[in-house]
Structures are given as C-alpha cells and as structure tokens.
Amino acid sequence: MDMSTTIAPKSDQLNADDLISGSRTITITRVNANPGGNGADQPVNVFFEDDGNKPFRPCKSMRRVMVAIWGKDAVEYAGRSMTIYRDPEVTWGGMKVGGIRISHMSHMEREVTLALTATQKQRKPYIVKPLVIEQKAVTPKVDAAALIEVAKVQARLGTAAFTKFWNLPETKKNRETLKPLISELGKLAKDADAADAPADDDPFGLPAIAGETNQPDLEQFTRLFDMIKTDLSDAGSVDQVIELYQDQIAQMAKDAPELHKDLQDEIAEYRKAEASEG
C-alpha cells in the first residue's frame, strides 16, 4: 500500500504537503488566471498532466523564476516541464509551514542563479537547473510499407538475417499485408551491386529471378517448399499463402518441376482440410 496517497490534503490546489513524500516532475498543459486567487497571492493556475484538477499556484517568487527563464507569455508554457519540491524552510506569519519551490525546468540550456527576495531587507541566490526529460520509447505502428523498408536492409545482409526477420512475431502477424515484399526484394537483388548482394544470395533463400543465374539451386527451392508448408499450417487461408508466394511458385515450376509437383500435392491436401472445416 502506498501510504502517501492517504496523507494528501483536501484542497482545490497542489499544496506543499502533497510533496512530503518527495519531489515531482510535472508537464504543464495550460496556464490561466485564478479568479479566486486571494488578490495578488495566488493569481495564477498552472494545470499539468494528471493534476486531478488541483493546479499548482506558484507564489510570487516562483512566478518570477518562471518569467525569468521561460519568458512572460504563459501560452508558451504548455508542454514544458518542471520539477517541484517541498521546501520546509518557507515561513508564513513567522512560522515554518513549508512551501512549493522549483528546482529544475525544461527549455533552458544551463544552470541559472537568480536573486530572489528572502525577507523585506534581504535577497538570496536561488539556483534552477536544466531538466533533462527522458524520452518515452515509442512502438512504431507496423505496416507493409515499413516492413518492406526493413526488408530492404535485410536483403543486403543475406539469407540468415532475412530469415530471422521473416520469422519475427510482428512479421508473421502482418504477412498478409506483405504481398509487395517478394517482388520488391527481387528488384533489389537484380539492382544491387555484386559486392553488396551477390546474385546467389537471395534473401528468401531462392534462386535469383530474371536470369541472374543459369543454375537453379534445388536446396534453395527446398527451403522455399518448407517455408510455404509452414505458412500453410499457420495461415487461415490457403489462397492467401499461394498469392503471397505466386512468383516463387512459378519459378519452382520452371526450375524444380518435381518439387513443384510435391508442393501442389501438399496444397491440395490443405485445400481439402480447409473445405472440410468450412
């Protein structure tokens, strides 16, 4: 159980006691005037992400810090971040009651020292440091175009690298959207420099298309046969698998007719099973 949740003061604003358990980094969403802001004491509402509709109402000293570092236009504050903490030395009416202070701010290049009023007759240096925001990892949306771009790189790396890519879970889930992938890789194999992608190093483990080699490699067609069988077992539609590999199956029919006949027998069996399930 997080005990800090049980000691939050009941209030319509963020209080110093809300920060007893530690400092907090907030990201501002908007700043507006506070109509009931006790005159000059609390004229500003600083709303922030996950604020629970309890804005931070900075004191005059902290407003001076914000203006000094971020400028006077509060509209520009949205999206910026700061770290706030409870300073137990803040006094009110001669008593130490604690107050909210700013220690770090984003959108500043270096540490800044300001002279802030401590008492009516005394000013003290106040240091604010740059806030480094950790970037959240973003998982890119997977689509055919993006995977093709990845595959272009993999094509240059050879069979082993591409096989690893082709068997990734995200690739398997999106294979139906990858119809352009095989022809795209075929073009790459054709256009690549010999040093980067030799003609016999097709990323699918297939013989090169369009006459790049005159000697078909039955071992590569065997790997293609196994790959298609695996996809037939995993896929929901035989036709989808056949459409995905149609160019390679046609090449197999030409250069490895016996293996092609075996493949057609396998396909026929899967079609029967599909029909019985339907």
- Residue 269: the pLDDT is 87
Local confidence band at 130 (pLDDT 50, 70, 90 cut-offs): very high
125 and 18 belong to one structural domain: yes
- Residue 212: the pLDDT is 40
Within a domain: residue 175? yes
111 and 199 belong to one structural domain: no
- Residue 195: the pLDDT is 38
Residue 142 and residue 170 in contact, taking contact as beta carbons nearer than 8 Å: yes
Within a domain: residue 137? no
- Backbone dihedral region of 39: left (phi > 0), alpha (psi from -120 to 50 degrees) or beta? left
74 and 99 belong to one structural domain: yes
Local confidence band at 62 (pLDDT 50, 70, 90 cut-offs): very high
> In this structure, are strands 112-119 and 99-105 parallel, antiparallel, or unpaired?
unpaired
Burial (CB count <10 Å: 0-12, 13-18, 19+), residue 54: middle
88 and 52 belong to one structural domain: yes
Which of 96, 130, 164 is the C-terminal boundary of a domain?
Answer: 130
State the total domains in the chain: 2
Local confidence band at 205 (pLDDT 50, 70, 90 cut-offs): very low
Local confidence band at 11 (pLDDT 50, 70, 90 cut-offs): confident
Highest mean pLDDT among 36-50, 59-73, 127-141, 178-192: 59-73
How far apart (Å, rounded) are the C-alpha atoms in residues 152 and 128? 48
Which structure tokens are listed for 199? Answer: 């003609």
Average pLDDT over residues 235-258: 81
Residue type, 71: G
Within a domain: residue 39? yes
158 and 254 belong to one structural domain: yes
Instruction: Judge whether residue 180 has pLDDT over 50.
Output: yes
Instruction: Judge whether residue 198 has pLDDT over 70.
Output: no
Local confidence band at 153 (pLDDT 50, 70, 90 cut-offs): low
Higher pLDDT among residues 111 and 226, named by residue? 111
Tens digit of each residue's pLDDT (9 = 90 or more) over 94-123: 778 889 999 999 999 899 998 887 666 677
Domain with 22, as residue range(s), is 3-130
23 and 85 belong to one structural domain: yes
155 and 273 belong to one structural domain: yes
Q: What is the pTM of this model?
A: 0.46
Within a domain: residue 138? no
192 and 258 belong to one structural domain: yes
| Listed range (81-85, 129-133, 167-171, 219-223) with the worst mean pLDDT | 167-171
How far apart (Å, rounded) are the C-alpha atoms in residues 227 and 174? 16
Within a domain: residue 135? no
Residue 131 and residue 109 in contact, taking contact as beta carbons nearer than 8 Å: no
- Residue 165: the pLDDT is 62
How far apart (Å, rounded) are the C-alpha atoms in residues 59 and 74? 15
Within a domain: residue 242? yes
239 and 168 belong to one structural domain: yes
165 and 110 belong to one structural domain: no
| Listed range (70-84, 105-119, 199-213) with the worst mean pLDDT | 199-213
Within a domain: residue 139? no
Which of 77, 103, 130 is the C-terminal boundary of a domain?
Answer: 130
Nearest to 159 by CA among 219, 226, 205: 205
- Residue 196: the pLDDT is 44
Local confidence band at 193 (pLDDT 50, 70, 90 cut-offs): very low
73 and 168 belong to one structural domain: no
- The number of helices, as runs of H, and strands, as runs of E, in the chain is 9, 8
272 and 150 belong to one structural domain: yes
Average pLDDT over residues 141-153: 56
Within a domain: residue 87? yes
Which of 130, 153, 187 is the C-terminal boundary of a domain?
Answer: 130
